Each structure stands twice: as structure tokens, then as C-alpha cells.
Amino acid sequence: MTPQLSFYNTASRTQEPFTTLHPGVVNMYCCGPTVYHYAHIGNLRTFVFEDLLRRVLDYNGYAVKHIVNITDVGHLTSDADTGEDKMEKGAAREGKSVWEVAEFYTKAFMQDWERLNLKPPTRWTKATDHIPEQIALVETLEAKGYAYVIPEDGVYFDTAKFPRYADFAGLDIRGMQEGARIGVTEGKRNPTDFALWKISPSDAKRAMEWDSPWGRGFPGWHVECSAMAMKHLGPTLDIHCGGSDLIRVHHSNEIAQSEGATGVTFSRFWMHGGWLLEAPTADGNGGGKMSKSAGEFVTVDLLLKKNYGALDYRYFCLGAHYRSYLNFSWEALDTARDSLKSLRRKTDPLIGRASAIVSENALGWQRRFLEAVYDDLGFPQALAVLNQMLKDPDLLEGEKAALVRDFDRLLGLGLAEKTEREEKVLPGPLAALLEERKDARNNKDWKRSDEIRDLLKGKGFGVKDNPDGTTSWFPL
């Protein structure tokens, strides 16, 4: 019997058989990054989980419409719509315009995406490309009586008008009202009310602002996701994903404003990835959820600098269930790197030797692997099945190879491809490029040197310029 797909749905707090609104089609929206800085590997863990989900859906033959947004505007540093604008903060830090900052970190994010072997979404959507849609959504909410204006401040969503507001995250609204702090935006009717549109202060010019029926300003952070998801995927999505830190405020708000506007369920499944936890640093900073502000800021670039491959980190993520906390440490990453290496030693000789999967035994291994994966993305168990399968003496080599190729469609570890990753020598044309780069550097032609570095990166190799003037290369 073919195993059935089932996923844990945050909305119902149960694991449910997966079904779609329209046969054969999955409309999936994933909250993307705010591009004011590099993504750290804790952010990226969520996108690895979403990639695994995407691969399972593709594997099952669904036509997946997969949208990931780029938040390039108007995201204040606090969930309570107060604090600085993250984009403007990034621009001030780097002495660049907000547009330059957004472009730079969007590119950096997409590069991380590729390095981690994440499948490209059907569409990336930028918040700044969807200002009219966001304004239209706020107008609809205003017309339906969900919104109110605080003069010279902004348009707010009245959460008391949406009685189900607290249900999604199980919020204790009464407790929140009693505990409402001073400093909460003056004029807000309820502590959970949130900004749909912020009006620019009359005494300050913002770098990113637009005209609106309420005055010049910028959209609230939450409204972009609802507006873009509904524009590209329709009023009801099949799956909405994000990190579990988004449940309480961002996703409660997305539901309130989307369902307030349309009157129908916004997303049938809500799936959330668990946090990556970091140990406190020696001086006692950090610990807990990995963040940009505390502890060590670990990016994919840093991993590469330390001679890890991006796929070592992907393998590390696969070793824990996506909803569990995962403790990051360099020692744990070493273990993942060693395990992936030893797995490759077993799978590399099988590359290119796949036959058909026909024997009862092979079909049994395939079924056990899929049972694990289809049971709310049980990839740690699936990896164990893969390792056991490779040890099975009764399995013919051709079938083993075919199973590896089949499983890797879901794992995304590049186990079934002939790559140069493991080779000790740079392939000829690339070696010549590296030589050319050496000359360029000697001639202080940094532009050409960077071009070649990027070319090599595209081929899966990083280069490192050593203090002694030599250059080393390493597989990414």
C-alpha cells in the first residue's frame, strides 16, 4: 500500500492527512527574509524544512505554486509596530541607500538558497513591487469596518472585531490587556491591534514611502504577506509556512486581515519550523534561539570560510525533525560533516549504475523510506532507512543505486550526481581560471579576480586568499 502524506497543522494542533483545495495543485506561501542583513543559519533552517516539504509535494506529482516573499520595506524592529525600521537601520549602518541594501542582501540570500540546494520557488515576490495591492487590502478592511485611523500615526486593524483572533496562537487576550505596558502605541484600542499602514512623521523624510488615501507612508509588515499570497495564489492557500517565531503575532495578524477581507479560510494548512538554538558564548552572551543580535552570527559564508560545505549544514538540519529544537554547535556540525562524507563514500560508487526498482526487497526499502518522510516529514528516520538499506547484502547494486537516486530527490544532498566535489584536483578549465585569477590579482585587477571567484563559486568551488599571497580552493 502506498503510504499517505500527513502533516502537522499548527491551526488544528493535530497531524492531518494532506489534501488540497484543487486536485493536483498545491498553493504554498512561505514567509521570506527581511533583507537588511545576511541571513544566519537559524533563519535558513526554516527554508531547508520548506524545501523538504516542497520536494515531497513535487515527488507526489503535485503542481506546486511556491511563493517566497522578500521583505524589502517597512518592517519595524518590534512586533508592536514601534522601534526603528530595519531597512533604514541597515542603510545607516552601511552608508548605503535602502534600495542598495535591499538589493545586496537579496542577492546574498539567493546565493545561500542555491548553496543549500533549495529548489527555486515558482516566484519571488518583493513587498515594494506590491504596494497598490497592500493599499487595496487596507481599503477593503476599512470598508468592512475592521480598520481605524490613529491621526498622524497610521491605520490599525481592530482585533476585537475579529473574534477568532486569539484562537490560532492560543493567546490569552484578557491577560494581555491587563498586562498592557505603557509605551504601547497611544490610541490603539486593543494591545493586539496592529498597523496596516504607517503614516510618515511630518518632520522626517523616509527613504521609502508612498502616497496612500491615509497620507504618505509605508505599509505595515504583516499586510504584505496577505496581499502577495492572495494576489498570486487566491484567497485560500493550501499551505502557509514560516518559522515558529512567526505564529504568535505575524501569522495571527495575517489570518485576521486576510479572513477579515475575504470571509474565507486563508490557509488550510499552517506548518512551522522549529528554532535553531545556540549555546551561550564564552563571555556568557547569546544562548537560546539563534539571532543576529546575540552570540555568534553564523552565516553560510562563515561556514564556507571554516571549510564546511553548505550541504554539511543541510545534512545537519536533516538529522532533526523540522518541528523540534535543534542545538547548534561546531562539534555537532563536525559530526554531520563526517556522516555526510561517509555516506558519500558509500553512494559515490553507485552513481550512474541505477537499474529499475523491481524486487520485493527493494520495494520494501522504498516503502519504509517514504513512510518515514510522509509521516510529517520524518527525515531523521528516513536517513536511518537509507543507511540500513546501503548495508543490505541481499540488494543488487543496480537497485541500491536506483534507491539512492530516488531517495535523493527528497533529501537534496546531491548523492546521485557526478560532481567534482570529492575530487582532489580542480577540473582542467577551472584550474586555468584559477591561474588567470592569480595573474589578475598580481596586476591588481580586482574586478576580474572577483568575476573569476564568482564563476568558480557557480561551479561549486570556493577560493580563499591566504595571507601569504597563495590561493587555496575548496568544494562548496
Catalog residues that contact Zn ion under the rule CB under 5 A.
31, 225
Q: How far is the CB of 30 from Zn ion (least distance, A)?
A: 8
Three-state secondary structure of the chain: CCCCCEEEECCCCEEEECCCCCCCEEEEEECCCECCCCCCHHHHHHHHHHHHHHHHHHHCCCEEEEEEEEECCCCECCCCCCCCEHHHHHHHHHCCCHHHHHHHHHHHHHHHHHHCCCCCCCEEEEHHHHHHHHHHHHHHHHHCCCEEEECCCEEEECHHHCCCCCCCCCCCHHHHHHCCCECECCCCCCCCCEEEEEECCCCCCCCCCECCCCCCEEECHHHHHHHHHHHHHCCCEEEEEEEHHHHHHHHHHHHHHHHHHHCCCCEEEEEEECCEEEEECCCCCEEEECCCCCCCCCCHHHHHHCCCCHHHHHHHHHCCCCCCCEEECHHHHHHHHHHHHHHHHHHHHHCCCCCCCCCHHHHHHHHHHHHHHHECCCHHHHHHHHHHHHHCCCCCHHHHHHHHHHHHHHHCCCCCCCCCCCCCCCCHHHHHHHHHHHHHHHCCCHHHHHHHHHHHHHCCEEEEECCCCCEEEEEC
Q: How far is the CB of 233 from Zn ion (least distance, A)?
A: 13
Q: How far is the CB of 258 from Zn ion (least distance, A)?
A: 11
Cβ nearer to Zn ion, comparing 225 with 434: 225
Q: How far is the CB of 284 from Zn ion (least distance, A)?
A: 33
Q: How far is the CB of 46 from Zn ion (least distance, A)?
A: 11
Cβ nearer to Zn ion, comparing 225 with 440: 225
Cβ nearer to Zn ion, comparing 68 with 108: 68
Cβ nearer to Zn ion, comparing 31 with 91: 31
Cβ nearer to Zn ion, comparing 159 with 252: 252
Q: How far is the CB of 249 from Zn ion (least distance, A)?
A: 11
Cβ nearer to Zn ion, comparing 31 with 440: 31
